Amino acid sequence: MAALGWLTPRRRSATARSVLAGEAAAEAARKTSAEDESALLTGTPEETPGEPPEQAPEEPAFPVAGDDRAAAFFDLDNTVMQGAAIFHFGRGLYKRKFFERRELTRFAWQQAWFRLAGVEDPEHMQDARDSALSIVKGHRVSELMSIGEEIYDEYMADRIWPGTRALAQAHLDAGQRVWLVTAAPVETATIIARRLGLTGALGTVAESVDGVYTGRLVGEPLHGPAKAEAVRALAAAEGLDLERCAAYSDSHNDIPMLSLVGHPYAINPDTKLRKHARARDWRLRDYRTGRKAAKVGIPAAAGVGALAGGTAAALALHRRRR
């Protein structure tokens, strides 16, 4: 995407940056899905290993088959996939010597904190994105897309929640479009969406000039209100009726997005979202068994030994910041 040099975050309000981020994400998502449309129509979604989804109580038929003005929007981290895509991506880049061990250690305690807390912490997620931007600066977009395909196979494919994947497939089977909506880089999100057979992805747009990353964002990370702006912009461009659409997330940070649609779902919800959803009679799904919940709470070894002690590092950092 061409640089928008006349826009600088310091000169625009947070709301304006959210709108800019959302519109940029919607533009990128529409462009990518248009390029992939023929492949998605002829391809088959890849199978995701794991246990079958839990049986839910009987409900009225939803999604409604043939309703082409309806679509579904899925948060990625901890909703579709265990953990945060940006951390898994960082591990893959380290393996390919994009950065040094000390930077991997930083990714390690961020991943440990994410898994211990079970929710997105905006400050920690911003730290991770700043790290990622500095790492990819000067690299070609095409190079990162190619590497991202490999990283998906290595670190992400076996972390997809089968239950959430089944919900997305139900929308696809009904003839509806399904989009990921995430603060992860749009290139990473697009790879995941493609591999799962989804329509496309809305993600954080990193600025590039002549196909090379500049190390800056277009607007701000696609987080919180910016996600809602992205969904609103995409719905307007695609002729969708948001009252007939569905949205799925695990995090209270996504309440603005969930509140936009007529069918909000809390998936593997954090405490705040669970309380909010129950108060508004939103549908809830939790695909975490006791064993899986315990597993998610423990930092995984990155295969290089650098995550050893990650839990202690995350807790120590949290204590210093309190």
Nearest alpha carbon to residue 206 among 225, 229, 222, 227: 222
The three-state secondary structure class of 48 is coil
Task: Mark whether 77 is an active-site residue.
Answer: yes
CA atoms within 13 A on the CB side of 176: 26
The maximal CA–CA distance of the chain, rounded, in angstroms, is 54
Strand ranges, E, within 97-243: 177-185, 200-204, 206-209, 212-217
- Residue 225 in contact with residue 122, Cβ under 8 Å? no
Task: Mark whether 36 is an active-site residue.
Answer: no
Which residue in this structure is represented by tokens 């709108």?
A: 19
Q: How far is CA 96 from CA 85, 147, 240, in A?
A: 17, 9, 41
At 178, phi and psi to the nearest 5?
A: -130, 125
**Rounded CA separation 171/309 (Å):** 41
Beta strands at 177-185 and 283-285: parallel, antiparallel or unpaired: unpaired
Catalytic entry in 36, 67, 68, 75: 75
Q: How far is CA 299 from CA 110, 120, 251, 274, 310, in A?
A: 10, 15, 20, 24, 7
Catalytic entry in 67, 77, 153, 286: 77
The residues, ordered by sequence, that sit 6+ positions from 15 with a Cβ below 8 Å of its Cβ are 225
Positions annotated as catalytic residues are 75, 77
